Amino acid sequence: MIALSLTEITEAVNGALHLAGPAEAADQINGSVQTDSRLIEPGSIFVAKPGAVTDGHLFAPVAAERGAALLIVARTLDLPVTQIVVADAVAALGALAAAVVARVRAAGTLKVVAVTGSNGKTTTKNLLRSMLERVGPTVAPRGSFNNQVGAPMTMLEVTAETRFLVIEMGASSEGAIAHLVRLARPDVGIVLSVGLAHAGEFGDLDATVRAKSEMVTDLLETDVAVLNADDPRVAQMAALTPARIVRFGEYGQVDVRASALHGSRTGTTFTLHLAGGQSAPVVFRVLGEHHVMNALAAAAAAEVLGVSLPDIVAALEATTRAERWRMEVLGGKDDVTVINDAYNASPDSMSAALKTLAQIGTPGKRTIAVLGEMAELGELAGEEHDRIGLLAVRLNISQVIVVGRGARRMHISTINEGSWDGESAYVDTPDEAFELVRSSVNPGDTVLVKSSNSAGLRFLGDRLGDLFS
């Protein structure tokens, strides 16, 4: 974190300062900000936030022992460390992050980019970071730090030298993205898609649209909204913002687009066309044509922020995977390819992954889809799992292996389609799925492992990748 005095931090979080030992209100703090006591280093700030199953205050003694210079707490603790007592530790974390970003922005050339969407946030964030790093110091989230804790933690990493801050914004309810937007005040807001991911949490698709629209409604006239013109629900958000609109997509009248797409098991080649009229061929080694849309979104934002076409193309061509456990290509032994895409799953991403599997399978060899539950779909779960089962049959996937009771309807749907005889199998556990794949796979086969994170199939994907490496 940038250096701030204890007084400045106290004012930012609207708390009450309790000095310890020789500390003075004017003392400067510039250590990292952590919510995990195990990450505390001498000079760090520890935020004692409540957790799902525990309370951060219980770990404050560990933070003190590890050298924390300041504790942000909801109640005074009997520890020899300076403390700021606040009404809500998570709100205080966000307020501190907002104050830091505002101060860095006012003092320099910091530009903030925010990304949201039902699918593709992390991939787009990673691509954008790679592009912006070619121009200047860039801060972006580690992994999927995209909630009311993760986003502020990323914001607090900016320094006086930071030129670009990329923030991934997720939401489990209406108002969550609006809150993060108010904290970060992005100069560029990107909306990738609106789908059924987390539909069970939002309640219905209309609520999802409203939640994702929060990315653009508070933008200023001087800001830019980067919108997916191929998604009608995203395209209509242009009417909700005073910001300048930059549209990306593969169809219709768009500013940034791709043409001449050709997908294979080594990635996708296409021609990138920017809003300024320049174009160039791209060899994009991230598997799956659906990731081209994420590349277009990142390119659109990067062009707005002054990144040149050669740097945009270089960043795209240097990227070999979307992220760990996201369309990650493993294996290779006996020409067996394993695609581990089991970090998350929605109906849209599941469909895209299956279409990619069907597209890249070696002619004359089998395609095998190991599928687990798509979580957080609420009352839509049954029909959406049915739909994926039917899609697998219609794409002529050679073998479907459904894992876990939450996904069992996919197996039933493939059987009811009536096209197969034994090509769909159901097992209860990842271990059973591993043994079934191991005993049946043939040289040249392509295996997809796809599920929501909660199903745990990403580790199955790793095991299969190791088996065929």
Q: State the pLDDT at residue 26.
A: 93
**Rounded mean pLDDT, 410-427:** 82
Asked whether residue 197 carries a pLDDT value surpassing 60, the answer given is no
Q: State the pLDDT at residue 72.
A: 98
Nearest to 403 by CA among 437, 378, 442: 437
Q: Which fold has domain 108-318?
A: UDP-N-acetylmuramoyl-L-alanine:D-glutamate ligase (3.40.1190)
**What's the pTM value of the predicted model, to 2 decimals?**
0.90
CA atoms within 13 A on the CB side of 324: 7
**Rounded mean pLDDT, 146-161:** 94
Asked whether residue 93 carries a pLDDT value surpassing 60, the answer given is yes
Annotated binding site: 117-123
Q: Which fold has domain 4-87?
A: 3.40.1390
- Tokens 């320094």 -> residue: 159
Which segments within 204-317 are labelled E, that is strand? 224-228, 244-249, 256-264, 267-273, 279-284
Q: State the pLDDT at residue 119.
A: 87
**Rounded mean pLDDT, 398-424:** 86
Asked whether residue 15 carries a pLDDT value surpassing 70, the answer given is yes
Q: State the pLDDT at residue 327.
A: 87
Parallel, antiparallel, or unpaired for β 224-228 and 188-191? parallel
Q: State the pLDDT at residue 376.
A: 81
Own/partner pairs for 74-81, CB < 8 Å, 24+ apart? 74/48, 76/18, 77/48, 79/20, 80/20, 80/21, 81/20
Average confidence score pLDDT of the chain: 93
Annotated binding site for ATP: 117-123
SS3 39: helix
Asked whether residue 314 carries a pLDDT value surpassing 60, the answer given is yes
Asked whether residue 237 carries a pLDDT value surpassing 80, the answer given is yes
What separation, in Å, do the N-terminal and C-terminal C-alpha atoms of the chain show? 42
CA 331 vs. chain centroid, Å, equals 25
Spatial separation of the C-alpha atoms in residues 161 and 136, rounded to whole Å: 9
Q: State the pLDDT at residue 379.
A: 83
SS3 222: coil
* CATH tag, 328-467: 3.90.190.20
Q: State the pLDDT at residue 54.
A: 82
Q: Read out DSSP for 326-365?
A: BSEEEE-GGG-EEEEE-S---HHHHHHHHHHHHHHSPTTS
Rounded (5°) CA angle 222-308-230: 65
**Rounded mean pLDDT, 341-348:** 89
Nearest to 341 by CA among 462, 433, 435: 462
29-83 tens-digit pLDDT: 999 999 999 999 999 999 999 877 789 999 999 999 999 999 999 999 999 999 9
- Tokens 């942000």 -> residue: 72
| Domain locations along the chain | 4-87, 108-318, 328-467
